[in-house]
């Protein structure tokens, strides 16, 4: 099981998921809109197609941060 901090600039929550769960599933279950901003896994930007990969296939074994960061033009 993996401890995932999932969220965005405003709201974050911690969930426990199976290693064979996809990133997209965790985001959708947490109601995170991943279509706006840049997706990050442990501080690294995700590439196209990464949301359909499992945590195990990305080498995540214990804990991670899965965040959608929206940057405003005036920030």
Residue 71 is predicted with a pLDDT of 77
Is residue 65 situated within a structural domain? yes
- Give the three-state DSSP class for 7: strand
Residue 74 is predicted with a pLDDT of 64
- pLDDT, one tens digit per residue, over 10-35 is 999 999 999 999 999 999 999 999 99
Is residue 75 situated within a structural domain? no
The residue among 9, 62, 15 whose CA lies nearest residue 38 is: 9
Q: Which residues are CB-neighbours of 3 under 8 A, at least 6 positions away?
A: 14, 15, 16, 62, 63, 64
Range of the domain at 52: 2-69
Give the number of domains in the chain.
1
Is residue 18 situated within a structural domain? yes
pTM: 0.90
Q: Are 45 and 38 in contact (CB under 8 A)?
A: yes
């Amino acid at each position: 099981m993996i401890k995932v901090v999932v969220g965005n600039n405003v709201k974050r929550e911690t969930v426990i998921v199976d290693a064979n769960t996809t990133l997209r599933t965790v985001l959708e279950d947490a109601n995170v809109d991943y279509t706006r901003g840049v997706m990050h896994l442990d501080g690294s930007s995700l590439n196209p197609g990464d949301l359909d990969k499992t945590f195990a296939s990305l080498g995540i074994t214990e804990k991670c941060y899965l965040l959608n960061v929206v940057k405003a033009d005036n920030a």
